[in-house]
């Protein structure tokens, strides 16, 4: 998802109305790329609407999900921004490069990259088909890697930020989800490395939400599943996607500048670190 919104007081040399350094700089992002805008652990419509609320352009990425992304684009329009839709298979390095280039062209630059593409396939222990393992690692981890490194030169130009969607399960583990937890753990490790490579000019974060109301959990989320998955949470409930989107919005604002390389545990107390 690419969002173009007003930018206020961004960068280390931002000044207040009197010409002095700003004590607190509120950065509303001018241009951001969100992959994927049709699915993800934090529903993309919530992310898109949060960015679109500040105006500008939002480019919604998807792969082979035109109906789902159309709903996201409409929500962006209702929030007051101009939606654009780009389809790309992000496991393909050339497609990832093309997506970033088209997003930069649509928004006139790039300030924020949000990686939210993901799949989760549950299998009995030691019965994970190799194809499912390969697909999960490719979609969740490899696509995130490819998009990050294609976007970094553009983000560096403008002092931007990256938010990679991980999961609390990367830290807790989950029976039957070996590929998913491995991919999300890889995202956390990659986020830390990337932060050291490109910071402080580009700020890099991971989000580790707990169970969130999404299409991803819909096949599993009966009452027993909900009771089991929320029993250890301090909040004792499934999160709303808008709550996770607000954490991402804080991270990419200038006030989030001290969180370099951190994993933000927006999981209702499921993981305490």
Q: Please list the active-site residues.
A: 180
Euclidean distance between CA atoms 226 and 211, whole angstroms: 9
Burial 145-177 (b: 16+ CB within 10 A, else e): bbbbbbbbebbeebbbbbbbbbbbbbbeebeeb
Euclidean distance between CA atoms 226 and 46, whole angstroms: 21
The answer for residues whose C-beta is within 8 angstroms of residue 148's C-beta and 6 or more apart is 113, 115, 162, 164, 190, 194, 204
User: How many other β-carbons are positioned within 10 Å of the β-carbon of residue 117?
Assistant: 24
- Nearest one of 138, 245, 129 to 182, comparing CA atoms: 138
Euclidean distance between CA atoms 104 and 199, whole angstroms: 21
Contact 4, 28 (CB under 8 A): no
End-to-end Cα distance, the chain: 30
Containing H/E element for 226? Answer: helix 223-230
């Amino acid at each position: 998802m690419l969002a173009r919104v007003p930018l206020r007081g961004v960068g280390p040399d931002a000044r207040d109305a009197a010409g002095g350094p700003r004590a607190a700089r509120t950065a509303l992002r001018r241009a951001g790329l969100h992959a994927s805008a049709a699915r993800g652990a934090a529903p993309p419509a919530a992310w898109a609407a949060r960015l679109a609320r500040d105006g500008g352009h939002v480019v919604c990425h998807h792969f082979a999900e035109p109906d789902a992304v159309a709903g996201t684009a409409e929500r962006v329009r209702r929030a007051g921004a101009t939606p654009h839709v780009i389809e790309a298979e992000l496991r393909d390095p050339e497609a990832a490069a093309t997506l970033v280039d088209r997003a930069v062209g649509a928004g006139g630059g790039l300030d924020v990259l949000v990686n939210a593409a993901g799949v989760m396939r549950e299998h009995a222990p030691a019965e994970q088909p190799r194809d499912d393992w390969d697909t999960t690692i490719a979609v969740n981890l490899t696509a995130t890697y490819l998009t990050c490194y294609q976007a970094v030169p553009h983000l560096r130009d403008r002092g931007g930020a990256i938010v990679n969607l991980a999961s609390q399960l990367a830290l807790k583990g989950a029976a039957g989800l070996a590929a998913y937890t491995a991919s999300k753990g890889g995202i956390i490790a990659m986020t830390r490395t990337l932060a050291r490579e490109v910071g402080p000019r580009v700020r890099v974060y991971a989000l580790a939400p707990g169970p969130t109301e999404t299409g991803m959990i819909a096949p599993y989320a009966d009452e027993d599943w909900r009771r089991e998955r929320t029993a250890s949470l301090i909040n004792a409930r499934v999160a709303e996607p808008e709550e996770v989107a607000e954490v991402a919005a804080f991270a990419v604002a200038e006030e989030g500048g001290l969180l370099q390389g951190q994993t933000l545990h927006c999981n209702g107390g499921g993981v305490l670190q």
